[in-house]
């Protein structure tokens, strides 16, 4: 049976309401080198725009918002889970519980929208990309990172299955919370086998973004892969993580 858009949104809300402030700890990847990496990325995109305001889309525990604290004057964070937002202690951050398909911000307001490990949680991308475009100022930038591309998964399917047996994130969540079922996890991680990033880039161009760039890398998965692959860019299908930068 097909999973509907509503089911995916409901699963995300329910899952992250349960996980709450434990998310970053359980995920285990929000390390110092990853903070430094995201800071580099935000500095790069903030010098292209005028760096007044940033929206952290699908913010979780507020990872991007924290990194952005000294780079942007105004910071907004949106998440579909009210309970995960409630756990963020940051008085300067404007927290908004909302669905990314219906962002309660007026047109042309934001300089940078950052989305980290977020896109693979979306059922489809038309509406969210349209919303990002609408709220960005002219010259504003959409920066998305750390979602796996489907071409990598397809190429290394067997290795990915072995990797997931060893680093079993699903098992960690199931063991930590008895209210989390396998189905809930799978439904919230809707594109856990990869996003079609080439189609997302075509969509961004169609919506009106003037420049869209995409690159693939390994940085931020583990200290081992950081040492092995560094921050180098790889051809599509040869590195798991997708970085998209789009200029309005």
Q: Is 140:112 a contact under the CB 8 Å cutoff?
A: yes
Q: Nearer to ligand SAM by C-beta: 96 or 155?
A: 96
Residue 145 as a binder of ligand SAM (CB under 6 A): the answer is no
Q: Does 99 bind ligand SAM (CB under 6 A)?
A: yes
Which residue's CB is nearer to ligand SAM, number 160 or number 169?
169
Q: Where are the beta strands (DSSP E) in the chain?
A: 53-57, 74-79, 93-97, 110-116, 136-148, 211-217, 241-247
d(CA 234, CA 139): 27
Among 14, 79, 131, 147, binds ligand SAM (CB under 6 A): 79
Between 115 and 239, CB nearer to ligand SAM: 115
Token digits of residue 146: 């750390």
- Cβ-based nearer residue to ligand SAM, 8 or 204: 8
Mark the segment that binds ligand SAM (CB under 6 A) among 47-55, 78-86, 163-171, 204-212.
78-86
80 binds ligand SAM (CB under 6 A): yes
Scanning 77-85, 159-167, 199-207, 221-229 for contacts with ligand SAM by CB under 6 A, the matching segment is 77-85
Q: In the bound complex, what is the minimum distance in angstroms from residue 170's beta carbon to ligand SAM?
A: 13
CA distance 77 to 87: 12
Signed CA dihedral, 216, 214, 11, 89: sign only = positive
Residues 9-68 that bind ligand SAM (CB under 6 A): 9, 12, 16, 30, 58-61, 63-64
- Concatenated DSSP letters of 152-211: HHHHTHHHHHHHHHHS-HHHHHHHH-TT--HHHHHHHSTTTT-B-HHHHHHHHHHHT-SE
Q: Which is nearer to ligand SAM, 77 or 239 (CB)?
A: 77
- In whole angstroms, how far apart are CA 115 and each of 41, 77, 92, 186, 189? 12, 10, 19, 20, 15
Residues that bind ligand SAM (CB under 6 A): 9, 12, 16, 30, 58-61, 63-64, 78-81, 84, 99-100, 116-118, 121
């Amino acid at each position: 049976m097909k999973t509907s858009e509503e089911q995916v949104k409901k699963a995300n809300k329910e899952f992250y309401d349960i996980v709450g402030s434990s998310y970053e700890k359980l995920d285990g990847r929000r390390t110092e080198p990853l903070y430094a990496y995201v800071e580099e990325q935000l500095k790069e995109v903030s010098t292209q725009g005028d760096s007044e305001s940033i929206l952290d889309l699908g913010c979780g525990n507020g990872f991007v918002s924290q990194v952005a604290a000294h780079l942007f004057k105004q910071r907004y964070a949106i998440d579909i889970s009210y309970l995960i937002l409630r756990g963020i202690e940051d008085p300067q951050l404007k927290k908004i519980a909302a669905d990314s398909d219906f962002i309660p911000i007026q047109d042309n307001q934001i300089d940078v929208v950052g989305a980290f490990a977020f896109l693979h949680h979306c059922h489809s991308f038309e509406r969210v990309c349209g919303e990002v475009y609408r709220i960005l100022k002219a010259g504003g930038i959409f920066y998305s990172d750390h979602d796996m591309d489907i071409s990598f998964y397809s190429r290394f399917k067997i290795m990915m299955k072995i990797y997931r047996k060893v680093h079993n994130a699903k098992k960690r969540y199931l063991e930590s919370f008895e209210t989390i079922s396998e189905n809930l996890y799978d439904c919230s991680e809707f594109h856990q086998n990869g996003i079609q990033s080439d189609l997302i880039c075509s969509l961004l161009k169609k919506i009106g973004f003037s420049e869209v760039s995409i690159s693939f890398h390994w940085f931020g998965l583990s200290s081992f892969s950081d040492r092995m692959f560094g921050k180098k860019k790889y051809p599509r299908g040869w590195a798991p993580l997708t970085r998209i930068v789009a200029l309005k």
